[in-house]
Amino acid sequence: MPHLSTSPPHFQSLLDAGGLKDKARLTPKEVSDLTGTPMSTVRRWLREKKLRALRTGARYRWILAEDLCEFLRSQEGPDA
C-alpha cells in the first residue's frame, strides 16, 4: 500500500488547504491531489472497491468526503 501523505484526523484541514472546505463529494482527481497518490492508484482503489464511489453514468465517479475519510482511517498502520 502506498504511503499516504495525509493523516485522517487532519482530513478537514486537508480539505481546507485544498480549497475544498465545503465539498461533500470529490472527483478521483481531487482525491489524488489531496492524498498525494497517483491517479492510477485511486482508480485501482475504486476498481477493487477499496474506496467507495457513486457513479453517475458510465464514466463519472464521485467519492463522498466521509467515505474517503473512512478509507484513509482503514489504511492507517498500527503505529499511526
pTM: 0.70
Q: 67: closest CA among 20, 32, 31?
A: 31
Model confidence at 1, in pLDDT bands (50, 70, 90)? very low
∠ Cα 22 23 28 (to 5°): 155
* 18-53 pLDDT per residue, tens: 555 567 889 999 999 988 999 999 999 999 999 999
